Amino acid sequence: SVPLLQAERKRNSVNLLELSEAELEEQFVRGDGPGGQATNKTNNCVVLKHIPSGIVVKCHQTRSVEKNRKIAREILQEKVDLFYKGEDSDVFKEKKASERQKQEKKRRAKENLERKKLFKEMQQLDKE
């Protein structure tokens, strides 16, 4: 599973496919999760479906219907882009680059830890 760029807020550098409103089916349903009565009686969870691909997105990140509609469209746009472009998608490329950076950072941290261990061992030998 490829985490979406929307969560990382790197949307400005990405060329995504445009969605037309005619291809979307939108519903407002009751959300779930914490929030008690306020959550149970308001229809502020947005369910957005892209009809040609069949991709469905459910968004209940905020209490505002308008914000949830906007967020759901951003997420759906990225998922549709990934669906049609596959590995050529900018979303996929950004994710792969992020993974490479993370692995490189982990490798450097491991090397530094090894160097510190060796340094401490050398200090222990010098004291004896």
Secondary structure tally for the chain: helices H, strands E: 4, 3
The answer to whether the beta carbons of residues 43 and 29 sit under 8 Å apart is: yes
Please list, in sequence order, all residues whose beta carbon lies within 8 angstroms of the beta carbon of residue 95, skipping any fewer than 6 positions away. Answer: 2, 3, 5
CATH code of the domain covering residue 114 = 3.30.160.20
Query: Which one-letter amino acid corresponds to residue 33?
Result: G
- This prediction's pTM: 0.64
Domain with 92 in it: 5-127
Chain segment 28-65, per-residue pLDDT in tens: 999 887 778 877 888 999 999 999 999 999 999 998 99
Query: Which one-letter amino acid corresponds to residue 46?
Result: V
Choose the weakest-confidence range: 71-80, 82-91, 99-108. 82-91
Mean pLDDT to the nearest integer, 83-106: 88
Domain tally, the chain: 1
